[in-house]
Amino acid sequence: MTTPNNHHPKFSNLAVLDFTIPENKKGMEDAIAKVKAESEKEYPIVIGSENVITDEKLKSWNPSHKNQTLGVFQKGNIDIAEKAMQKALETFETWKNVPAAQRADYLFKAAEIMKNRRFEMDAVMILEIGKNWIEADADLCEAVDFLEFYARQMLEYAGGRSLTEFEGEDNTAFYIPLGVGLVIPPWNFPCAILTGMTASAIVAGNTVILKPASDTPLIAAKVVEIFQEAGLPEGVLTFLTGPGGSIGDYLVEHPKTRFISFTGSMEVGKGIYEKAGKVFPGQIWLKRTVIEMGGKDAIVVDSEADVESAAQGIVASAFGFQGQKCSACSRAIVDEKVYDEIVEKVIALTEKLTVGDPCDPANFMGPVSSKSSYAKVMEYIEIGKQEGVLVAGGTGDDSEGYFIRPTVFKDIKPGSRLEQEEIFGPVLAIIKSKDYDDGLRIANDTIYGLTGAVYTKNEDKIKRAYKEFHVGNLYINRKCTGALVDVHPFGGFNMSGTDSKAGGRDYLLLFMQMKSVSRKIIK
């Protein structure tokens, strides 16, 4: 096997910037001004060496100022999607033979370029999807981590796998790429998850058609620019903007699509899974799907918990990036012995949170992503008023942008809509449990299984959580958000998806297949 990382130091996670340092603060302010100044810039569909311009346009909007555009994009159609497929197929024939070390080098170069463009990338996320400064930079850090980590992982896999020796034969097993993949990333981690999904498939030797989320095409275009700047050969990565209902479905069902990598809502994910399961004329494989969906994540607070720490973890997990994380805590399940105390502390912490334009670093929460998201969250707030007691927030203002106060309901009953359905916004349901057993039972009573946390000082209860709390990412005595690459491999159970464990050491295997070769030794 080859020795990994010959020229690269051991992987470590990139640290988030300290914006109290004047130089960093000014860097961000200048970058925000620059991105605003480029609001009329037009971005093409990129297919190989061709920049495609369409008659019909799409725009990127600022959810903090809903009438402010940030960029102009092309509305792709089925003919363009077919052209993209043909180019990706053609390029795969050469790209699959490029040595793994060379493919990894493109990722290492992209990571360096991304770090050099750090303020610009952060500024785009602040403006395009409403991340605060820290959340935006954490997103950037994760994207860089994915590039660095997957490049190193590919170097490890490139040596093949050792096998049991068998007399008279020379046996080897090695990994080869799959083919053309369709990557459909989400809008909520528009730099990190997009970069991770794209880079992993590319470094494994596949060609990728990237169809970005309609709410975040600008950050996607910037990531594509970075790969171009890194010298990635034309045709390896296609940038295709357009409606998911037409070009997305067309490519999911295309007989030459070899795999689909999707992160997003359960409804869309199930639809992709169903469509990908059909074998169309001319298709000679079963498509591989990597489908990561939502969560209804719970923090279980035991009677033997540190209540101050638990309350802080709940609020940070529930309202970071407006609760728009698949890992966000939307349920706090609290033992009746500490229930009133936790509710009181959660209310006090929630009421201190600032909401407003995230261009101002004083604001902890920005807007929700879009008009439709605003409407959905406000509808759930009305449902919450019927199902429990509103104790914080509950109001929104969409006159300028899509702003919603962080909202807390107490006395929510297990099985109610607020306790069961993914809201994807700043709404927390607090549920009273009789004891720890009851808390775990309520936590597991959901179709999802993504993240969860337990706060307790009792070692036996902690051990039980390891075995009994059925989630892909479990956290003990800490918040349930903020997974780091190769520290917390990320992916969930049940209707949270296929448990891909992004940022883990098995992830690249999803984009490769093993070939076993046995050669008889002739003397």
Note the pLDDT tens digit of each residue in 233-242: 999 999 999 9
Q: Verify that 302 and 385 share a domain, yes or no.
A: yes
Does residue 388 sit within a domain? yes
pTM of the model: 0.97
Does an H or E element contain 200, and which? helix 192-203
- Range 266-276 average pLDDT: 98
Residue 98 in this model has a pLDDT that exceeds 90: yes
Does residue 1 sit within a domain? no
Of 213, 40, 30, which is closest to residue 123 (Cα–Cα)? 30
Q: What percent of the chain has pLDDT over 90?
A: 97
- Range 350-373 average pLDDT: 98
Q: Verify that 404 and 389 share a domain, yes or no.
A: yes
- Range 103-128 average pLDDT: 98
The count of structural domains within the chain is: 2
Q: Verify that 454 and 372 share a domain, yes or no.
A: yes
β-strands 403-404, 396-397 pairing:
antiparallel
Does residue 520 sit within a domain? no
Residue 317 in this model has a pLDDT that exceeds 50: yes
Note the pLDDT of residue 2: 37
Note the pLDDT of residue 248: 96
Given the residues 292, 387, 419, 422, the one annotated as active site: 292
Buried b (16+ CB within 10 A) or exposed e, 298-318: bbbbbbebebeebbbbbbbbb
Q: Verify that 32 and 130 share a domain, yes or no.
A: yes
Residue 388 in this model has a pLDDT that exceeds 70: yes
Give the three-class secondary structure for 105: helix
CA 521, CA 523: separation in Å to the nearest integer? 6
Q: Verify that 252 and 340 share a domain, yes or no.
A: no
Q: Verify that 289 and 302 share a domain, yes or no.
A: no
- Range 179-197 average pLDDT: 98
Residue 244's pLDDT band (cuts 50, 70, 90): confident
Residue 6's pLDDT band (cuts 50, 70, 90): low
Does residue 7 sit within a domain? no
Residue 260 in this model has a pLDDT that exceeds 50: yes
Note the pLDDT of residue 355: 98
Residue 250 in this model has a pLDDT that exceeds 60: yes
Note the pLDDT of residue 160: 87
Burial classification of residue 115, based on how many CB atoms lie within 10 Å of its CB (0-12 exposed, 13-18 middle, 19 or more buried): middle
Q: Verify that 412 and 449 share a domain, yes or no.
A: yes
Does residue 11 sit within a domain? no
- Model confidence over 116-126: pLDDT tens digits? 999 999 999 99
| Strands (DSSP E) found in 197-287 | 207-210, 237-239, 257-263
Does residue 8 sit within a domain? no
Residue 54 in this model has a pLDDT that exceeds 90: yes
| Eight-class DSSP state of 119 | H
Given the residues 141, 191, 326, 359, the one annotated as active site: 326
Question: Does 421 participate in catalysis according to the annotation?
Answer: no
- Range 290-314 average pLDDT: 98
- Model confidence over 415-432: pLDDT tens digits? 999 999 999 999 999 999
Note the pLDDT of residue 3: 39
Residue 155 in this model has a pLDDT that exceeds 80: yes
Q: Verify that 267 and 386 share a domain, yes or no.
A: no
Helices 118-129, 217-229: inter-axial angle, 10-degree rounding: 160
Q: Verify that 254 and 326 share a domain, yes or no.
A: no
Question: Does 359 participate in catalysis according to the annotation?
Answer: no
Q: Verify that 278 and 312 share a domain, yes or no.
A: no
Residues 6+ apart with CB under 8 A from 203: 100, 103, 104, 106, 107, 150, 151, 154, 508
Does residue 174 sit within a domain? yes
β-strands 427-433, 329-335 pairing:
parallel
CATH of the domain at 189: 3.40.605.10
Note the pLDDT of residue 4: 44
Note the pLDDT of residue 7: 73
CATH of the domain at 462: 3.40.309.10
Could you count the other beta carbons within 10 Å of the beta carbon of residue 150?
Answer: 29
Residue 291 in this model has a pLDDT that exceeds 90: yes
Q: Verify that 412 and 376 share a domain, yes or no.
A: yes
- Range 266-287 average pLDDT: 98
Does residue 242 sit within a domain? yes
Backbone angles phi, psi at 69, to 5 degrees: -85, 155
Q: Verify that 322 and 284 share a domain, yes or no.
A: no
Burial classification of residue 140, based on how many CB atoms lie within 10 Å of its CB (0-12 exposed, 13-18 middle, 19 or more buried): buried
Residue 269 in this model has a pLDDT that exceeds 70: yes
Note the pLDDT of residue 520: 97
- Range 157-181 average pLDDT: 96
Residue 1 in this model has a pLDDT that exceeds 90: no
Domain residue limits at 309: 297-493
